[in-house]
Structure 1
Amino acid sequence: MSSSLFSIRFIAIASFVILAVVQYFLVYNTFELKNDKFFLAEAAQIKGDYSNAIRNDKVFPGGQAIIDSFLNRNMYELERRYKSGRADFSILGQKVVDSIAANLRTRSNIDSLMTAIIKENKLEDDLIWLSTVDHISVTFNGQQYVTLYDKSQMYKGLDSAFQNKGIVVSGSLHNTGPSNLVSNITISTPTAYSNRIGFSLYTDTPHRTQAIITRMLPTFLLSLFSILSLATIFYITFRNWSKQKKLAEMKSDFVNSINHEFQTPLSAIIVANKTLEKDQVKDDKEMVASLTGVIGRQAERLNGLFRQVIDITMMNESTLQKEPVVIEELLKEVVDDYMIQADNNKVEIAFKETDMPGHLVLLDRFWVTTMIINIIENGIKYNTSAIKRISIFTTESEKLLTVHIVDNGVGIPAGEFKNIFDKFYRTTKSIENKAVKGLGLGLYYTKLCIEAHRWQLHVDTVEKSGTDFSIVIPL
């Protein structure tokens, strides 16, 4: 069963993980799709107005004059150094670029231009932007361009702010990329001693991710709901299947073990009956009365066992048939009856009497008798000692009477202690290489009986040494 359950769990968990991964990629791809299309209409409006504002210009209105002024005044010196192969060509080029950047930033009117565009198109007033120069190159012959600056390259002589992102002209947008690129323009004039400039404008909302997630919320919730629904359905199905499988195995064990469980009272009846058939016993009225009493009590117990097995779940406080019973007399009676059919060479069951007077307790005689026998039989079944000893005695303290049933058995393993009172539960370990027979109802019955009487049960156990079942009864 364990290997079958493991396989089913593994397959189910693997399937669930695969489903979750697929759902993740679907949601992620949906997010990327919405991210690409987010702000698309607004970006188109900004792009149109921005392009019109810089028609026949560069970067921003008046930007071309700034760029041309620095490039034109240094054009011939750049050409001379470039053609002579001098190393200081790049030094001069970086100085020119640095001057262009400083003047573009100082004289930029991008902020006022963007504010006007946003206001004119009635866009969100929390929009942020970034204007950058991405590329600057010059041509001396109108055909071949020589690069002075490209944002994809690293320049030792330029400020680190120029690297990767480009020369920042204006704006406070930090994260730039294809999703928030509004305009990317390259302007060149294919004539001698001219230049080519590439520049970009990025615009975005500061709450882009939050806005996209808000728009995706129905999709996200639907995906999450589907995963949780499938997980819930699997859990319920698996739990019900496990219960059905466990019940089927329990029923099979029940049918195989029921004959053994009824042997205890039947054996006592058979032994008592055979003893009565002996001639020397027939004339002993006291012995006859004792043996017939055993037969009567065990027959009643057998009948009670049938009722217990048929409907053990009906046991509760309302079904108790309480009567005042001297608990010590009941315990002695149980021991005497049990020892008639026990193997006296291997089992010793003793009720230790004390000087205390008997304690009168309101209880259901049949249920308590059966409970005590169940505990005794557990102490014998789960026992590998040469002489299996069960010691029963009572103690009194602070208006509490405690019935102790102590055995010298194998004890209860720590890993199984929490399950011993479950219905149909039987230990997974064997005793002397043999599986212990039983219905798995003994300690479950014990728990129900204790709860119905409103008593308490304490179990002290030492593995391989023995167990002390203590029944605490308020006086």
Structure 2
Amino acid sequence: MPIASYLAVINLGMKLSITAYKVISIVSFLILSTLQFVLVYNTYKLTDERYFFNERKTMDTAYGKTIINDILFPGGGKVMDKYIYPNMHTLEVLHDQDTAAFNQYKALLVDSIFTMLRANSNMDSVMHMIIQKNGLSEKLEYALHFDLVDISFKKNQYVNIFNYNSPQKSRLSLISGTLQTPSNKNKISTVTVTSPADYTTRVSFSLYADISNRSMVILQRMLPTLVISLFSLFCVVLLFFITFRNWVKQKQLSEMKSDFINSMSHELNTPLAAIIVANKGLQNEQILENKAQVRSLTDVINRQSERLKKLIGQVLDITRSNQVVLQKEPLILQNALQEIISDYRYKITDPSIQMTGVLAEGEDTIEADRFWLTTILVNLIENAIKYNDQPNKVVNILLRRGKKHLYIEVADNGIGIPSNIQSHIFDKFYRAQTNLKTNNGLGLDLGLGLFNVQQAVLAHGWSISVTSKPGQGSTFIVRIPNK
């Protein structure tokens, strides 16, 4: 398998492993959170059911004592008897002869009974006495509701005149109290009063009591449970984050080791290729007869050998510490650039590559490290060729003067750089995804070339920028202060 394909497979595997790790972690966290929620919710329900349990028993007993010989409240039975028994025979006749009239009459009767019961209710004082006597909360609210009113014309044969089993949905059956949310959770008692005789009644009613902020009180009681639950989830998330971060760091270190080995091959390939080409030229008898050409080729070998020597140490330094150590010397920029361009031309064997150099006339002297100046220009040239899918690949190198700066521009007609990744191209090990199937034989894209360029530029106190449009090529501009 080719190295590029091998690295692509490894990269894809790493991406898949990270994605799988994230998915498994998220699913596990959701399962854990769901279990925690179920446990906390069940605890809340249990606490809600047990809340006010002893107080309810106390109120049930106390309320039962106050109505031993009565209905609803002390005196309530007399109000009921006053309306029902005088109308018993009328109800019987209407029930047997006219159902519509019976329904209308019983509705009026029930309404009159409820109205009178509300007017004569002394439940406020009864509840206040129960609360005071038993030391219950003053914040208690209550509601007394009718559930059922039946009448019997014959023994144990009841006829319903009122039936409402959902008092929380209506205020119709409310006799006394201000509690807005009666339910089975806050029901104190349900009392049914009946008598197995002719012309009698069967009455069922319920008493509810609760505090208005029941849910908040329950949550306060559950606060330790909630805090422990949330803290445990936080610890799990924190441990996951620390583990994931350390795993990513270890993975990055492993990738950096692999990339470093490959980057060494990539960086060493440039001067080595120039040396090989120059050496082959020296083996040509026609060239050997031309002393000027021999001298030119030996100069190339000498420069690239020195570069190869420095490269071994410099690549190690920049990979370890991300710092560039400069050995500055006065350089005539035009001459230095011309040497770099000439040396690189020996490496180009593809006839579709056209490289031109247009350098400002004159001599501009700068303080620079020759090795790193070469690294800057060579990497920019290689990127211009590497990311180019045109049948005729054009690379233009321009040196121009400004009022305060000298500008080295490397322009190409390649694939260009999308605006959303232009801010990342100088990041270490950043490798943009492209549709190019080959790298033109110029080595693998390891994400170190432009990083090295930026490090060298910044170390000199220069600056670099890029202008690019996808499909139209890119132009890298190095700004050098003109002193």
* Same fold, TM-score > 0.5, yes or no: yes
Report deviation, 1:119: 2.6
Show the 5 A alignment for 1:74-85. Answer: 74-84=87-97
Report deviation, 1:282: 5.0
DSSP 3-state at the match of 1:25:
helix
Show the 5 A alignment for 1:265-284. Answer: 265-278=271-284, 281=287
C-alpha change, 1:187 and 1:330, in structure 2 (3 Å) is farther
Which of 438, 442, 454 is matched with 1:447 structurally?
A: 454
Residue type of the alignment partner of 2:414: G
- State the alpha-carbon separation in 2 of the partners of residues 115 and 79 from structure 1: 41
- State the alpha-carbon separation in 2 of the partners of residues 90 and 162 from structure 1: 24
- Kindly indicate whether residue 389 of structure 2 is the aligned counterpart of residue 384 of structure 1: yes
Which of 107, 111, 118 is matched with 2:131 structurally?
A: 118
TM-score, normalised with respect to structure 2? 0.87
- State the alpha-carbon separation in 2 of the partners of residues 326 and 127 from structure 1: 94
Residue type of the alignment partner of 1:443: L
- State the alpha-carbon separation in 1 of the partners of residues 90 and 363 from structure 2: 123
- State the alpha-carbon separation in 2 of the partners of residues 280 and 234 from structure 1: 70
Which of 299, 305, 310 is matched with 2:311 structurally?
A: 305
Residue type of the alignment partner of 2:353: V
CA contact (8 A) 2:168 2:181 kept: no
Aligned to 2:70: 57
- State the alpha-carbon separation in 1 of the partners of residues 321 and 251 from structure 2: 25
Which of 66, 81, 84 is matched with 2:79 structurally?
A: 66
Aligned to 2:478: 471
DSSP 3-state at the match of 1:467:
strand
CA contact (8 A) 1:134 1:166 kept: no
Aligned to 2:157: 144
Residue type of the alignment partner of 2:416: G
Report deviation, 1:75: 1.2
Show the 5 A alignment for 1:176-191. Answer: 176-191=182-197
DSSP 3-state at the match of 1:140:
strand
- State the alpha-carbon separation in 2 of the partners of residues 459 and 434 from structure 1: 21
Question: Structure 1 residues 208-217 or 163-172, which shifts more?
Answer: 163-172
CA contact (8 A) 1:459 1:470 kept: yes
DSSP 3-state at the match of 2:222:
helix
CA contact (8 A) 1:459 1:467 kept: yes
Aligned to 2:37: 24
C-alpha change, 1:340 and 1:45, in structure 2 (3 Å) is same
- State the alpha-carbon separation in 1 of the partners of residues 402 and 224 from structure 2: 66
Report deviation, 1:239: 4.2
Aligned to 1:216: 222
Aligned to 2:436: 431
- Kindly indicate whether residue 139 of structure 2 is the aligned counterpart of residue 134 of structure 1: no
Report deviation, 1:265: 0.7
Aligned to 1:158: none
Residue type of the alignment partner of 1:113: V
Question: Structure 1 residues 163-172 or 193-202, which shifts more?
Answer: 163-172
TM-score, normalised with respect to structure 1? 0.88
Residue type of the alignment partner of 1:22: L
DSSP 3-state at the match of 2:276:
helix
Residue deviations 1:71-111, cap 9 Å, x none?
11111111122233532111111111101111111111112
- Kindly indicate whether residue 406 of structure 2 is the aligned counterpart of residue 393 of structure 1: no
- Kindly indicate whether residue 181 of structure 2 is the aligned counterpart of residue 175 of structure 1: yes
Aligned to 2:8: none
Residue type of the alignment partner of 1:134: D
Question: Structure 1 residues 253-262 or 40-49, which shifts more?
Answer: 253-262
Question: Structure 1 residues 375-384 or 115-124, which shifts more?
Answer: 115-124
Report deviation, 1:351: 2.2
Gaps of 5+ in 1: 154-160
DSSP 3-state at the match of 2:193:
strand
Show the 5 A alignment for 1:195-210. Answer: 195-210=201-216
CA contact (8 A) 2:168 2:182 kept: no
Aligned to 1:157: none
- State the alpha-carbon separation in 2 of the partners of residues 196 and 63 from structure 1: 14
The alignment yields a C-alpha RMSD, in angstroms, of 2.8
C-alpha change, 1:350 and 1:173, in structure 2 (3 Å) is same
- State the alpha-carbon separation in 1 of the partners of residues 457 and 83 from structure 2: 100
- State the alpha-carbon separation in 1 of the partners of residues 351 and 39 from structure 2: 74
- Kindly indicate whether residue 409 of structure 2 is the aligned counterpart of residue 404 of structure 1: yes
- Kindly indicate whether residue 346 of structure 2 is the aligned counterpart of residue 333 of structure 1: no
C-alpha change, 1:361 and 1:79, in structure 2 (3 Å) is farther
DSSP 3-state at the match of 2:373:
helix
- State the alpha-carbon separation in 2 of the partners of residues 438 and 115 from structure 1: 85
CA contact (8 A) 2:387 2:439 kept: no
CA contact (8 A) 1:315 1:449 kept: no
C-alpha change, 1:343 and 1:120, in structure 2 (3 Å) is same
Residue deviations 1:353-408, cap 9 Å, x none?
224x5444333332232122111111111112233221122344452333211111
- State the alpha-carbon separation in 2 of the partners of residues 162 and 308 from structure 1: 82
Residue deviations 1:11-45, cap 9 Å, x none?
33222222222222211111111111122222222
- State the alpha-carbon separation in 2 of the partners of residues 395 and 151 from structure 1: 96
Question: Structure 1 residues 259-268 or 69-78, which shifts more?
Answer: 259-268
Would you say how many aligned residue pairs link Structure 1 and Structure 2? 467
Show the 5 A alignment for 1:339-350. Answer: 339-343=345-349, 345-350=351-356
CA contact (8 A) 2:168 2:180 kept: no
Gaps of 5+ in 2: 1-12
C-alpha change, 1:8 and 1:345, in structure 2 (3 Å) is same
- State the alpha-carbon separation in 2 of the partners of residues 401 and 112 from structure 1: 98
Report deviation, 1:217: 1.8
- Kindly indicate whether residue 240 of structure 2 is the aligned counterpart of residue 227 of structure 1: no
Show the 5 A alignment for 1:233-248. Answer: 233-245=239-251, 248=254
DSSP 3-state at the match of 1:197:
strand
Report deviation, 1:334: 1.5
Report deviation, 1:230: 2.3
Residue type of the alignment partner of 1:89: F
CA contact (8 A) 2:406 2:481 kept: yes
Report deviation, 1:151: 1.0
Report deviation, 1:149: 0.8
C-alpha change, 1:463 and 1:46, in structure 2 (3 Å) is same
- State the alpha-carbon separation in 1 of the partners of residues 197 and 461 from structure 2: 105
Show the 5 A alignment for 1:87-126. Answer: 87-126=100-139
Residue type of the alignment partner of 2:409: H
Residue type of the alignment partner of 1:74: N
Residue type of the alignment partner of 1:75: M
DSSP 3-state at the match of 1:437:
coil
- State the alpha-carbon separation in 1 of the partners of residues 308 and 447 from structure 2: 17
Aligned to 2:4: none
Report deviation, 1:303: 2.5
